[in-house]
């Protein structure tokens, strides 16, 4: 019996790159003796439909999109208890997780790596009843990627996020937050809190000590400091020296509880996250990934 691969692709991701590569994806899989069953993500249609009909004849799920697309597919898989490995073709605006695991942007090379690899279990983040592969965040700027117009995002990419971020500067205010875990308790004010399974957010390498196999998430919180202190801290971020700063709270944990009564949203890899309070956990080996370096 011929083995199948469910290919879920987001035609709106990034510069619509995947549309020109569809034939390569199908050809390479056919040459490997696998049948591609495509599913095109469409606005207004539930992504869970992409998993209809998946049974024991399926080898893995191939996802073409950014971090948000991968998250959506993983969440849909978890809801249905589908335990197939995933392969990622990073064609989104933000491909932070794919970069962290060493996945190439070249579609042909990426398919070949996936086809010639074995599944590797990697950690997965859980925030309340949702899952994330790269980062969950809250505080200032966290809803920037949600507010950024899709067309703008696709046209000017990362610059769109930064332009939107600059618009938020007048809203700079201290945010009250309460954090509890075995490793750390914090009750005070902050600007930004990020909980990483991956390593980068918006191409900034923030979780420099992140490890996908240690069963831990990396928690980085930027304390509420004087505006004049922000530039020196930002320079430390660029140099990768911020984790040692007394302006930053940093620790690793597998279980974290966060409360805040502030009017702020949460973000999961560019998509809207759940409401407070937040229970964030690390599921060790929670998803199997193909094509890892």
Task: Give the CA distances from residue 54 to residues 26, 38, 117, in Å, rounded to whole numbers and listed in that order.
Answer: 18, 12, 21
What is the 8-class DSSP label of residue 116? Answer: T
What local confidence, expressed as pLDDT, does residue 230 receive? 79
**What is the rounded CA–CA span in Å between residue 253 and residue 280?**
9
Beta strands in the chain (DSSP E): 3-9, 34-40, 58-65, 86-90, 120-127, 130-132, 135-139, 175-180, 185-196, 200-201, 204-205, 217-223, 248-253, 255-259, 266-268, 271-272, 278-289
What local confidence, expressed as pLDDT, does residue 162 receive? 47
Listed by start position, the domains of the chain span 3-117, 130-284
Least Cα distance to 255 among 215, 227, 200, 207 occurs for 215
To which CATH superfamily is domain 3-117 assigned? Probable inorganic polyphosphate/atp-NAD kinase; domain 1 (3.40.50.10330)
**What is the rounded CA–CA span in Å between residue 16 and residue 20?**
8
201-257 per-position pLDDT tens digit: 877 889 999 999 999 999 999 998 887 787 888 888 888 888 999 999 999 999 999
Residue stretches of the chain with pLDDT short of 70: 141-172, 293
| Residue 291 three-state SS | coil
CB atoms within 10 A of CB 242: 20
What local confidence, expressed as pLDDT, does residue 35 receive? 97
Catalytic sites, residue numbers: 271
pTM: 0.89
What local confidence, expressed as pLDDT, does residue 161 receive? 46
End-to-end CA distance of the chain: 30
**What is the rounded CA–CA span in Å between residue 103 and residue 148?**
26
Topology given in CATH for the domain delimited by 130-284: Tumour Suppressor Smad4 (2.60.200)
Would you say the C-alpha torsion 13, 122, 101, 3 has a positive or negative sign? Answer: negative
CB atoms within 10 A of CB 23: 8
235 alpha carbon, distance to own chain's centre = 24
Sole residue written with tokens 């990426």: 110
Q: Exposed (0-12), middle (13-18) or buried (19+): which is 8, by Cβ within 10 Å? A: buried
CA atoms within 13 A on the CB side of 140: 21
Would you say the C-alpha torsion 274, 279, 280, 285 has a positive or negative sign? Answer: negative
């Amino acid at each position: 019996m011929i083995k199948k691969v469910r290919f879920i692709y987001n035609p709106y991701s990034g510069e619509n790159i995947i549309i020109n590569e569809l034939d390569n994806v199908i050809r390479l899989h056919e040459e490997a003796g696998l049948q591609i069953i495509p599913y095109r993500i469409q606005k207004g249609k539930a992504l869970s439909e992409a998993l209809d009909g998946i049974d024991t004849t399926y080898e893995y799920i191939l996802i073409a999109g950014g971090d948000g697309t991968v998250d959506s597919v993983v969440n849909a898989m978890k809801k249905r208890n589908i335990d197939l490995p995933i392969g990622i073709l990073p064609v989104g605006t933000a491909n932070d997780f794919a970069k962290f695991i060493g996945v190439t942007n070249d579609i042909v090379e990426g398919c070949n790596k996936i086809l010639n690899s074995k599944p590797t279990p990697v950690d997965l983040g859980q925030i309340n009843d949702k899952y994330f592969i790269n980062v969950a965040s809250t505080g200032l700027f966290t809803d920037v990627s949600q507010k950024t117009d899709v067309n703008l995002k696709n046209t000017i990419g990362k610059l769109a996020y930064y332009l939107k971020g600059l618009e938020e500067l007048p809203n700079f205010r201290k945010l009250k937050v309460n954090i509890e875990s075995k490793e750390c308790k914090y009750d005070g004010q902050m600007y930004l809190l990020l909980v990483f399974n991956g390593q980068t957010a918006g191409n900034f390498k923030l979780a420099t000590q992140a490890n996908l196999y240690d069963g831990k998430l990396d928690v980085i919180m930027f304390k509420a400091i004087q505006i004049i202190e922000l530039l020196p801290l930002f320079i430390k971020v660029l140099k990768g020296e911020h984790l040692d700063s007394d302006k930053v709270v940093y620790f690793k944990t597998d279980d974290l509880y966060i409360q805040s009564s502030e009017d702020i949203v949460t973000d999961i890899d560019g998509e809207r996250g759940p409401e407070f309070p937040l229970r964030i956990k690390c599921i060790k080996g929670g998803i199997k990934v193909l094509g890892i370096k």
